[in-house]
Structure 1
Amino acid sequence: MIHPHIADALKVPDLIRLTDGMVLLRFESMKIYSALGAVRDLLDRGVVRPGQTLIDSSSGIYAHALALACHRYGMHCHIVASTTVDATTLAQLEVLGATVEQVKPSENLKLDQQLRVRRVREILADHPEVHWMRQYHDDIHYLGYREIADAVAAELADTLAGRPLTVVGGVGSGASTGGLVTHLRRTDPSVRLVGVQPFGSVTFGSQDHHDPEAIIAGIGSSIVFDNVRHHLYDALHWMDFVHALSGSVALLREHAVFAGLSTGAGYLAATDAARRDPDRLHLVIGADTGHRYVERVFARHAEARDLTTLAPVDVSSPEEMTMPWSTMAWNRAACPAHWKEQAA
């Protein structure tokens, strides 16, 4: 197939068998699907027009996806970037024509995210013609994952052969795991969803636990994300940085897959889930490659622990969780009302 734009080629994932009960859905950059689908829908509905500026805040992977979508559809892109965005991503954004501004360094992720949102609002106040993509809050970002769900279902039809499916992935903004499973459940309501969270994230109640290595980019948040639909999740895993690092290193060592930190965390969670329920096929979402984690993760491969020696603590509520790794059955429950009150 000859693709009309590089974004259309980069968005397509590969399915890689890891074990008899586990398959990796490996992306070059998963959020390209989300960004392309959202921008195309906005253009089709006349909400935005070609040449208009689209803005959002990002810690890296969505910024690159939005810049590619804007390049694809003739839009201008402005990114309010986290201080964690690496030099490689920044260079690509600038060459792609995006304008980038980074907030000042912060002592924690919550302040960093708050500063980015505040800056976006300031820009919108001065430039009302700019459109805010709101990747964390606008469910338009669920649209792009329908295509992935259809492709995955078709590709796995023979592999499943009657086996039930479990999807495992980082929660993050909620759009990727939520979007994929929402579309898969339209034809198969039995599809399970296992979400992965870092300690320190407010999304599923681990904000009181401090991980000295900080929140894992892409799977947790220190502010409330409206795109997270708690009722979609069957089980949750919370794990610290060292466990996620161990999963990433093991994935490279055992399967030669060079993937990001959230993929490593998902791989570790899926290993536990497959041990508990070997009759199901576990689909691990690999959101990005490992390139931006070379120094922080892969250069520290000697610190990785043997996955066969690791096991989570089973808890019955978020209040019982303990570091470095906890898991619980969520059973598609709604977000507790008191969490929303506390966030407000």
Structure 2
Amino acid sequence: MSAAVHSHIADAIKAPDLVQLGPNLYVARFETMKVYSTLVAVERLLASGRIRPGATLMDSSSGIYAYALALACHKYGLNCRIVGSKTVDKTLMVQLRILGATVEQVEPQATLKLDQSLRVARIRELMAADPELHWMQQYHDEIHYCGYEPVAELIANGVRGAPLSLIGGVGSGCSTGGLACALRERAGEVELIGVQPFGSMTFGCEHIEDPGIIIAGIGSSIPFRNVRHALYDQVHWVSFDYGLSGAVALLREHALFAGLSSGCCYLVAQREARLHPERNVVFLAADTGHRYVDGVFARFDEALALDDLQPAPVERLDQLRLPWSAMRWNRAAFEPALSPVSADAAQPAAAH
């Protein structure tokens, strides 16, 4: 069998590998998620004339989206500018700069909300000074949904024979939202389960801070328009300690070295697969574990046994509590910017 030959490394790493971990449990394992969707977004922007050859694309990111955008710009001969925080790890920073990206880091802030707000304010300053810059707006421009259609096709073709449950970190909303929309067109009734950190306002949990760290990549402290709340059937809020336990278990049990958000998703997915043997459960592993070696995997002796961990079922947002809460969201509408902790928009029945 001949191997595919790609013209750019981004094309080689954009698609996930599907791995079966149990009778009805699967993982879509990305080397770095968002490459596929970013490539499609940039390609469509060029084709539509919204950006011109040689343009400078800019966005706020301190993680995998920054890398995805740098790769896309490298492939298409565009300039890349990233406004990030001081938390950008050295490995990523070196790669971004060698790839030709201009990386600007804002000063450290006391909270994620201040950090994200400062980054957006800096982008607005740069846009005002140079209107030719194109702000990609991964959190708000729905073009980022388009790139998940091929991933949905891969999952639908690879996981058959039973109703599907999809589990992933919410973050910008595009990966889980885009996949759910495309899968529901292809595979019928698909259950979507979103995973959030404590402290994230996206689903109304800004009133509870994680004593460990906020898992920033799957949460937010500012509203994201690309999060379509009415797509989600369940939401699970997972603490850093439980996410660490999930990431260590994923490596120990399945030799799968993935990031902290993947550990959170595995924690939820293995329980869902056990409770619902009649369904196929697929969770998203967004990146590898390399940047979490010191903060997560070096602390493997702190990991808890997953069989001993259970979520607290809640019916209202003011009942949320550490270290793991679960709620039947039932595709309710929600407005984070207006969210009191008892938001009327999200009070369906408790999670099973």
TM-score range, shorter chain: over 0.9
Provide the secondary structure at the position in 1 that maps to 2:258: coil
Aligned with residue 81 of structure 1, among 64, 71, 84: 84
Q: TM-score by structure 1 length? A: 0.96
Matched residues in 1 for 2:228 and 2:300: separation?
35
Code of the residue aligned with 2:37 in structure 1: it is S
- The equivalent of 1:341 in structure 2 is 338
Q: Is there any run of 5+ residues in structure 2 with no aligned partner, and where?
A: 341-352
Shift of 1:342: 5.0
- The equivalent of 1:140 in structure 2 is 143
- The equivalent of 1:304 in structure 2 is 303
- The equivalent of 1:177 in structure 2 is 176
- The equivalent of 1:32 in structure 2 is 35
- The equivalent of 1:250 in structure 2 is 249
Code of the residue aligned with 1:91 in structure 2: it is V
Alignment of 1:211-226 (within 5 A): 211-226=210-225
Code of the residue aligned with 1:121 in structure 2: it is R
Provide the secondary structure at the position in 1 that maps to 2:225: coil
Q: TM-score by structure 2 length? A: 0.94
Code of the residue aligned with 1:179 in structure 2: it is G
Code of the residue aligned with 1:75 in structure 2: it is L
- The equivalent of 2:23 in structure 1 is 20
- The equivalent of 1:193 in structure 2 is 192
- The equivalent of 1:49 in structure 2 is 52
Code of the residue aligned with 1:247 in structure 2: it is G
Code of the residue aligned with 2:226 in structure 1: it is N
Shift of 1:284: 0.7
Matched residues in 2 for 1:49 and 1:218: separation?
30
Matched residues in 1 for 2:232 and 2:24: separation?
20
Residue 72 in structure 1 maps to residue 75 in structure 2:
yes
Provide the secondary structure at the position in 1 that maps to 2:167: strand
Provide the secondary structure at the position in 1 that maps to 2:217: coil
- The equivalent of 2:347 in structure 1 is none
- The equivalent of 2:230 in structure 1 is 231
Matched residues in 2 for 1:6 and 1:81: separation?
24
Shift of 1:217: 2.9
Amino-acid identity (%) = 57
Matched residues in 2 for 1:243 and 1:342: separation?
26
Q: Is there any run of 5+ residues in structure 1 with no aligned partner, and where?
A: none
Provide the secondary structure at the position in 1 that maps to 2:165: strand
What count of residue pairs does the alignment treat as equivalent? 337
Matched residues in 2 for 1:176 and 1:12: separation?
13
Residue 104 in structure 1 maps to residue 103 in structure 2:
no
Q: Is the 8 A contact 1:23 1:282 kept in 2?
A: yes
Q: Is the 8 A contact 2:156 2:187 kept in 1?
A: no
Q: Is the 8 A contact 1:217 1:262 kept in 2?
A: no
Deviates more, 1:208-217 or 1:13-22: 208-217
Shift of 1:270: 0.8
CA RMSD in angstroms, aligned pairs only: 1.1
Per-residue deviation, residues 12-67 of structure 1 (Å, max 9, x unmatched): 21011111110010000111012101100100000001111000000211000000
Residue 9 in structure 1 maps to residue 12 in structure 2:
yes
Aligned with residue 94 of structure 1, among 92, 97, 100: 97
Aligned with residue 149 of structure 1, among 143, 147, 152: 152
Provide the secondary structure at the position in 1 that maps to 2:200: coil
Alignment of 1:120-139 (within 5 A): 120-139=123-142
Per-residue deviation, residues 293-328 of structure 1 (Å, max 9, x unmatched): 011000111111000110001111222111110001
